[in-house]
A and B are shown apart, each in its own frame.
Chain A
Amino acid sequence: DAGITQSPRHKVTETGTPVTLRCHQTENHRYMYWYRQDPGHGLRLIHYSYGVKDTDKGEVSDGYSVSRSKTEDFLLTLESATSSQTSVYFCAISEDRVLYFGPGTRLTVT
């Protein structure tokens, strides 16, 4: 499982509240990613990181921010959650360009 954990695994929150999802890896990988998965859209990249404090936007970054203060942790924050951000969120690490995914966080915004 590439030593990736995500927390929480499930969350229900109300519109307008901030939410932070955590991704933790144990194998010191440089690249980390946040994807969201929605029916009919597959996996879409939100943000990624190529080192501590080095991050960049993906194709669906609006409404999301990220931080990486330690190699092992990559945080995804929804500043003010909206119903359109109801989704399954996957964290991934890259090893030789192959992505290995965490178990996912199922987020529902009511």
Chain B
Amino acid sequence: QKEVEQDPGPLSVPEGAIVSLNCTYSNSAFQYFMWYRQYSRKGPELLMYTYSSGNKEDGRFTAQVDKSSKYISLFIRDSQPSDSATYLCAIGDYKLSFGAGTTVTVRA
């Protein structure tokens, strides 16, 4: 069993829709939860970073962590074509384990 499982997608949504991305993890000791965005042929870049359970909001992006269920989510509101990218969840501490990524396409 992989340490981090991510819904594979791909997802295609119309502009303005809400995008929902999810990951589950197996190691209850994990404390740090991150979402990265990766554009084609680029390195991943940090999008959201949370520590412990709860919600964190940054503009159109909301990250949720439910440690009791070992489940994390990323929501993108009012999605834009510029949000089209691959989104990777990452969980761990000094060593991060990554999900396989979900490719999102926002159609204008």
Contacts and interface: CB of A to CB of B under 8 A. Distances in A.
A99 B100 contact: no
A25 B62 CA distance: 31
Contacts of A31: 94
Interface residues on B, range: 20 to 34
Interface residues on A, range: 20 to 34
B43 interface: yes
B94 A101 contact: no
B95 A58 contact: yes
Contacts of B90: 43, 99
B94 A103 contact: no
Which of A40, A98, A102, A103 is packed against the most chain B CB atoms within 10 Å?
A: A98
Contact of B34 (A98, A103, A104): A98
Contacts of A94: 94
A48 interface: yes
Contacts of B45: 101
Given A40-B100, A42-B6, A103 B42 contact: yes
Interface in A18-48: 31, 33, 35, 40-45, 48
A104 B39 CA distance: 12
B95 A42 contact: no
List the 4 closest pairs (A to B, CB-CB), nearest first.
A101-B43, A42-B100, A43-B98, A42-B98
Interface of B: 6, 8, 32, 34, 41-46, 49, 88, 90, 93-101
21 contacts: A31-B94, A35-B98, A42-B88, A42-B98, A42-B100, A43-B90, A44-B98, A45-B95, A48-B95, A90-B43, A90-B44, A94-B94, A98-B34, A98-B46, A98-B49, A99-B34, A99-B96, A100-B46, A101-B43, A103-B42, A104-B42
